[in-house]
Structure 1
C-alpha cells in the first residue's frame, strides 16, 4: 500500500534486509491467492526483513509477500491509526476477522500500481489475527488508515488489488488510467 502523505517524520525502519523489486499489476503472482506459511525460521525472518526494507525504500505503508514475488501469506506495515498513533509490525497467515463501521471513501494507492490513487471504500475499523515470524499469536486492531492498510494487504494475499473494490465511475476511471499505462 502506498502511503497517504508525502512526509513521514520520525519514520525509523529496520535496516537489515535487502530491497526486492515490487511486482506490478499484470504479474500473475498478484492475482493468485497466497499459500499459508508452514515453515518458520531464518528464511521467513529474512523475507520479513526484506519486505520492511522494500516498503521503506518504496515509501510505502504496507507490503504483502506476493508484491515481492513470494506467494506466501505474510505482510508488513508501518502506518498511523485514526488517533495518529504509529503502528509497525508484520502478520504471518493473517485472517481478516472483522471489518466494520460505515465505509469511508478516501484516496488509496498501491505500490503495485505506482502513481495511481483512487477514491476507495474501506471500513473504518479492522481486526486481523495471525502469528508473527516465530509463530506466536498476533492480533492487530486498527482504525483509520491502519484499518485501510490491514484490509488492503489482506486483499493482496487473497489475490486481489485495491481496484477490485471500486465501482461505477471510479472503476471506469481506474481502468482507463491502467490501460493508458499499458498494464
Structure 2
C-alpha cells in the first residue's frame, strides 16, 4: 500500500527515531508498504519518519544507479543488486575526504542541492529478520545510507547546507510545508489549508 510521504515542516521529521524489537506490530507489512511508497515516488531510499513513524527503520534500493555513467563500473555493479532493509542502525565510523553530490529528498520535493559527505562508513544494523550485521559501505551506496540514516536521527539534508544556501531555499521550504509545490506522489503537508 502506498502511503503519503510527510513533507518538510512536520515535527516527525525532527524526532530521533526509537529503536524497535522483533515483535514490533505488523513490521513486515510496514516494510512492504514503505517499499511500495518509495517505488511509487520513484525514490531510492525511504526512512520510517518520512511516513510519520518515528522509529529507527529505513530501506534502500540503489538499482536505479546501475546505469549512471558518472559512477565507476564497480559502483554500478554494486548498485545493480543493492536492496536492503536497515533496522536500529548505528554508524560506527565515517572515513575519508568529504566529496560532494547533488542530493534530493522525497520529503522536500523539487529541491536538490550539493551536499558534502565522507565516502566510507562502517554501519551496525539489523536486517528484516533481526539478524545483526556490521558492514563497510562506500561510494554512492554509503551516501544513500547516510542520507536515510540522518532521517532516523531527525536530520535533513538541507541542515548540511551553508547559511547562504539555506537562506536561498527558505521560501521554497516554506511553500513545501504549505503544500505549494508540484509533486507526482501522495504527500502530507503540515501547514496546508486542505490535505491533499
TM-score by length of 1: 0.83
Deviation of 1:66 (Å) = 0.7
Deviation of 1:49 (Å) = 1.0
Q: C-alpha separation between the residues in 1 aligned to 2:130 and 2:175?
A: 43
Gap runs ≥5 in structure 2: 66-70, 179-196
Deviation of 1:56 (Å) = 0.8
Aligned to 1:28: 11
Q: Which of 156, 164, 167 matches 1:161?
A: 156
Aligned to 1:3: none
Contact kept, 8 Å, 1:55 with 1:62, in 2: the verdict is: yes
Give the aligned length: 166
Q: Which of 139, 145, 157 matches 2:140?
A: 145
The residue matched to 1:114 in structure 2 has which SS? strand
Gap runs ≥5 in structure 1: 1-17
Structure with greater helix share of residues? 2
Aligned to 2:182: none
Deviation of 1:42 (Å) = 6.2
Deviation of 1:106 (Å) = 1.6
Distance 1:34 1:182, change over 3 A: closer
Aligned to 1:58: 41
Aligned to 1:115: 110
- RMSD, matched Cα: 1.9
TM-score by length of 2: 0.78
